[in-house]
């Protein structure tokens, strides 16, 4: 049985997004799975913001920068599990990961609206085996879901949207290692 890893699927989605953007002459930077990081300035309530954290605990901020006109990152929302009938007497475990890709851009540099980017770059990059769930073009709600306690600051010259999708794959529970 082949071993499917969510980070590999996201990596192939990112490659497809960057390739499609490049074909349209758009400089793009895609990040992998990001997590909300809590920041607690002295005397203030904590704020959260997204970061791609490596295995050493170091983080990379995946949001708007001056080097790219378009970018995105993914966030794992949750997983559900079920079983399907396998060969013989064995059932197979199925994992469904729900993921959201957050996309931002500066359309003044490439003359495309958020809806165009979603339709021509993001959606075609997500594999057909994935189930598309929902797109959200309300920049304020997308921002507030990613940045808790941070005032909305996306200028009108930029877009911000999200696309939720689900990836389903069979995994072998016995191959998962645990340490005691």
- Distance between CA atoms of residues 73 and 76, nearest Å: 10
Residues 6+ apart with CB under 8 A from 43: none
Per-residue pLDDT, 88 = 63
Residues 6+ apart with CB under 8 A from 159: 103, 104, 105, 107, 113, 114, 117, 137, 139
Averages of pLDDT over runs of 10 residues in the chain (180 residues) are 72 96 92 88 73 88 82 96 76 90 91 94 95 96 91 88 93 60
Residues 6+ apart with CB under 8 A from 173: 93
In 10 A of CB 110, how many CB atoms?
A: 17
Per-residue pLDDT, 101 = 98
- Distance between CA atoms of residues 126 and 30, nearest Å: 13
> Any idea what the Cα angle at residue 139 is, between residues 134 and 145, rounded to 5°?
75
Per-residue pLDDT, 155 = 85
Percentages helix, strand, coil for the chain (3-state, rounded to 5) are 25, 40, 35
- Distance between CA atoms of residues 14 and 156, nearest Å: 26
Per-residue pLDDT, 152 = 84
DSSP 95-143: EEEEEEEEEEE-GGGT---HHHHIIIIIHHHS-TTSEEEEEE--HHHHH
Per-residue pLDDT, 143 = 94
Ordered by where they begin, the domains of the chain are 6-175 (3.30.2000)
Per-residue pLDDT, 2 = 42
């Amino acid at each position: 049985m082949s071993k499917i890893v969510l980070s590999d699927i996201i990596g192939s989605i990112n490659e497809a997004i960057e390739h499609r953007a490049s074909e349209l002459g758009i400089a793009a930077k895609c990040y992998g799975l990001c997590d909300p990081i809590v920041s607690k300035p002295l005397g203030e309530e904590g704020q959260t913001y997204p970061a791609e954290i490596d295995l050493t605990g170091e983080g990379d901020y995946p949001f708007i920068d001056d080097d790219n006109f378009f970018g995105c990152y993914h966030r794992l929302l949750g997983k559900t599990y079920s079983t399907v009938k396998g060969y013989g007497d064995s059932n197979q475990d199925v994992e469904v990961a729900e993921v959201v890709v957050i996309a931002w851009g500066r359309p003044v540099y490439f003359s495309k609206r958020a809806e165009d980017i979603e339709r021509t770059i993001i959606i075609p990059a997500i594999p057909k085996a994935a189930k598309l769930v929902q797109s959200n073009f309300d920049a304020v709600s997308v921002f507030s879901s990613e940045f808790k306690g941070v005032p909305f600051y996306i200028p009108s010259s930029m877009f911000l949207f999200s696309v939720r999708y689900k990836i389903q794959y069979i995994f072998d529970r016995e191959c998962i290692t645990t340490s005691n």
